[in-house]
Amino acid sequence: MKIPSNKQLMLWSQLVLLSSDITMSTLGFLVPKKSTFPSGIKALADFVHSKGLKLGIYSDAGHLTCSKKMPGSLGHEEQDAETFASWGIDYLKYDNCNNGGIKPTNRYPVMTKALMSTGRPIFFSLCEWGDMHPALWGYNVGNSWRTTNDISDTWESMVSRADQNEVYADFARPGGWNDPDMLEVGNGGMTKDEYIVHFSIWAISKAPLLIGCDVRNVSKDTMEIIANKEVIAVNQDKLGVQAKKVRMEGDWEVWAGPLSHYRVAVLLLNRGSWRTPITAHWDDIGIPPGTTVKARDLWEHKNMKTRFVGNLTAAVDSHACKMYILKPVF
């Protein structure tokens, strides 16, 4: 039985995540630290919800969280799930540390059942790091599952997480998603073009779009990326099919995936050091040969003047991409 989910994915603009300053009472119930949450978490949740946002919280499928400073939920799943529901939590990120060697397939489903029993729809994010290939079993347990180890704010880390995540594309579907970890957009370790690549791959891969930068101090460049409604719409498309690499030649790649209303999302990615032309062929991306399509450039926010038949070619800068929606012209 599938646990209830609020939406297909959690967007950064809808989610505030609590990750610390929660301890355990003598009766085994989680309690917020009064100096951090003087009015309690329920009051905080009410305030967050009044702003049109959703509230997330962090726990661990172990006896302690990864910092070893806060209690985990192993052995307290029912209590903690009821506590989260009573607080008005919408999202649970559930980590994988200090678990006594118990297999994740024996630990995570216990929290699944506990969350379902509360009657509150709480998005369940399995942070199992891809250790035991959760894409193979995660759909019956949670709403998303980490397919990789932690990401860092570098080009090499980002593209390697994208590669690892793409392997499991066939296992993503509405209600359950592959998660290559949070976005690093805006943290300063990559160029603007590299962050556009980052956001584009995560979007076309239907990955959770969880922003990891300080949203209180977002630059204009960062806001242009994370607030691109056209790219976000690809991520949120109701068909819910994760894109795949359909062609790789040297340092360039073509990613593609179907969208609703007979459209196709296409990403032309240059991983090399020089500007290069990249071609998406219809037989690679699932468009019938001879079909005429119109193209929408999602980063330029404009319709291409040319109609395309058989293929589409664009010159792409180093460590950059082009992203399009292609729609047949009937």
Instruction: Evaluate whether 22 touches 31 at the Cβ level (below 8 Å).
Output: yes
Compute φ and ψ for 10, nearest 5 degrees. Answer: -95, 120
Angle (nearest 5°) at CA 169 between 121 and 108: 40
Burial 192-211 (b: 16+ CB within 10 A, else e): ebbbbbbbbbbbbbbbbbbb
CA 202 to chain centre: 7
Burial 161-181 (b: 16+ CB within 10 A, else e): bbebbbebbebbeeebbbbbb
Q: Look at residues 142, 191, 198 and name the one whose alpha carbon lies nearest to residue 171.
A: 142
Active-site amino acid positions = 95, 150
Q: How far apart are CA 221 and CA 185, in angstroms?
A: 10
The Cβ of residue 77 has, within 10 Å, a number of other Cβ atoms equal to: 22
Cβ partners under 8 Å of residue 66, min gap 6: 60, 95, 97, 98
DSSP 171-189: G-BTTBEEE---B-TTSSS
Local structure of residue 87 (DSSP, 8 states): H
Q: How far apart are CA 127 and CA 129, in angstroms?
A: 6
